[in-house]
A and B are shown apart, each in its own frame.
Chain A
C-alpha cells in the first residue's frame, strides 16, 4: 500500500520568499503523485501531478515539484510567495492500477506581509 508523509504541519514564509513544502512517499509500485491546494471553505484543487513523464512538473500559480526517486520525495516549491498562496496543501500518492489515492495530513502555509 502507498502512503505519503508531509513534513511540517505548518509553514510560514514572508511575501516574496521561497516556498518549500515537503512530501515523501512510500509505494510498492511506480507511483503517481499529486499536489492539491485547499482554500478556506473550499474543496481541493489540483496544483500539479506527476505521472512518470518529466520529473520536474510545473503546475498552476507558479508552483512546481520535482520527483526524486532516490529520495522518495516530491517537494513543492514556488520561487516567490504571494499573500494569495496562503492555504492548506496536500500531497497525494496513487497506485496507477486502481483508484486508491492516499493523501498526506496537509501543510498549512501562512504568508506574512
Chain B
C-alpha cells in the first residue's frame, strides 16, 4: 500500500536519544492514527487525529509525543524510551473523522528497537 508511507522503516535508539517517526498519507484523508504492534499482543491504538486535532490518547506515556501539522502528515516524537517500547509502530489514515465504517489504510510501519 503506497498511499501511506512511513519513515524510517527501521530505527535503533538508546534510552537517552530523541528521535521522530514520520507518516505521510497521499489519500486525501482527514483522520490519522498511531498504533503500536508488539509481538503476541493485540494492536494497540495510541493516538487519533481528526482534521489535525487530537481526539484520542489511549493513556500513552508522555515519552511518546504526537504531532499533526496538517491532514497529510503525522509525527511521533520519541524521548527517553524504555526497552519495552521496542515494537512495530504503524500509522494509518481514513477518510472521515468520525464513524467507524471508514476503512483505515495502513503504512508499512517503523520497526523500533530501544537498547
Interface residues of A (CB under 8 A from B): 9, 32, 36, 41-46, 49, 51, 90, 92, 94-106
B18 to chain A, nearest CB (A): 25
Task: Give the distance in Å from the alpha carbon of A83 to the alpha carbon of B109 in the complex.
Answer: 24
Chain B residues positioned under 8 Å from A45 (CB to CB): 1, 106
A22 to chain B, nearest CB (A): 15
User: Are A43 and B109 in contact (CB-based, < 8 A)?
Assistant: yes
Total chain B interface residues with beta-carbon distance under 8 A: 28
Task: Give the distance in Å from the alpha carbon of A98 to the alpha carbon of B108 in the complex.
Answer: 25
Task: Give the distance in Å from the alpha carbon of A92 to the alpha carbon of B44 in the complex.
Answer: 11
30 contacts between A and B (CB under 8 A): A9-B40, A32-B100, A32-B101, A36-B106, A42-B108, A42-B109, A43-B1, A43-B106, A43-B107, A44-B90, A44-B92, A44-B106, A45-B1, A45-B106, A46-B104, A49-B103, A51-B101, A90-B43, A95-B100, A97-B100, A98-B98, A99-B55, A99-B94, A99-B100, A100-B56, A101-B45, A101-B104, A103-B43, A105-B42, A106-B42
Interface residues of B (CB under 8 A from A): 1, 4, 31, 33, 40-43, 45, 48, 50, 55-56, 90, 92, 94, 97-101, 103-109
Which of A41, A94, A104 interacts with B108 by CB under 8 Å? Answer: A41
User: Are A96 and B100 in contact (CB-based, < 8 A)?
Assistant: yes
User: Are A43 and B90 in contact (CB-based, < 8 A)?
Assistant: yes
